[in-house]
Amino acid sequence: MADLADVERMVDDWERNAAETSQKYQAMQAEVERISITESVASGAVSVTVGHNGLPTDIKMTQAVLKMGPDEIAANVLRAMQKAQSKYPERLAEITAETVGDDATTRHLVATAVDNFPAPPEEDEPPAAGQPQERRLYDREEESPAAPASKAPPAPAPKPTPRRKSGPGDEDGEDFSDQSFLRRD
């Protein structure tokens, strides 16, 4: 049976470990709150910075966007944001390794970030400003007008729900009376 000195030593060790772990997690939290990731696309014409929560904190554009159409600018902003957000799990893993180390909690934090943040966008850049963009009317071959008409006929449209019959004093079909429909007559 353990004597009182052993129990006191175990409690002291537990308190010391808990305090050290708490300090490590506080340091990790401070570092995570300082995360700021900036990525650019379209040869640097569009840059987006995301903060510790993955939300944009800054968007910058150069004069090169004047040669782009509105859709191309919007696509480049989203692409730069996705590119920046995709770096978040990697940065979080670096911070957890530097501050807390590898444990079940940090592995869960990083795995959650991987699940919640987007993958990096495809590497092929959209056409540079001034070059025409390839436009597609149909994303899939089976939707194109040249596809064979061997599809099943479309499902019939659902029948409209019959409207409630108006009662006396209810000219427009709406019932905004103060009477309960749960009353007993």
Name which of 47-61, 68-82, 119-133, 160-174 the model is least confident about: 160-174
d(CA 139, CA 133): 15
Q: What are phi and psi of 8, to 5 degrees?
A: -65, -40
d(CA 75, CA 82): 10
Evaluate whether 49 touches 38 at the Cβ level (below 8 Å): yes
Evaluate whether 129 touches 72 at the Cβ level (below 8 Å): yes
- The chain-wide mean pLDDT, for the chain, equals 78
What is the pTM assigned to this prediction? 0.60
Evaluate whether 36 touches 51 at the Cβ level (below 8 Å): yes
Span 91-117, pLDDT tens digits: 999 999 999 888 888 899 999 999 988
Residue 57, SS3 per DSSP:
strand
Evaluate whether 50 touches 37 at the Cβ level (below 8 Å): yes
CA distances from 88 to 27, 112, 141 (A): 18, 11, 36
Helix (H) / strand (E) containing 112:
helix 104-116
Residue 82: per-residue pLDDT: 94
d(CA 65, CA 129): 7
How would you classify residue 114: left for phi > 0, otherwise alpha for psi between -120 and 50, otherwise beta?
Answer: alpha
Evaluate whether 129 touches 45 at the Cβ level (below 8 Å): yes
- Indicate whether 36 pLDDT > 70: yes
131-155 average pLDDT score: 48
Residue 143: per-residue pLDDT: 46
Q: How many CB atoms lie within 10 A of CB 17?
A: 10
Evaluate whether 154 touches 121 at the Cβ level (below 8 Å): no
d(CA 94, CA 180): 62
Which residue would you say has higher pLDDT here, 125 or 100?
A: 100
Which residue would you say has higher pLDDT here, 64 or 19?
A: 64
- Indicate whether 125 pLDDT > 60: no
Confidence of residue 142 (pLDDT cuts 50, 70, 90): very low
Helix (H) / strand (E) containing 41:
strand 37-41
Span 58-96, pLDDT tens digits: 999 999 999 999 999 999 999 999 999 999 999 999 999
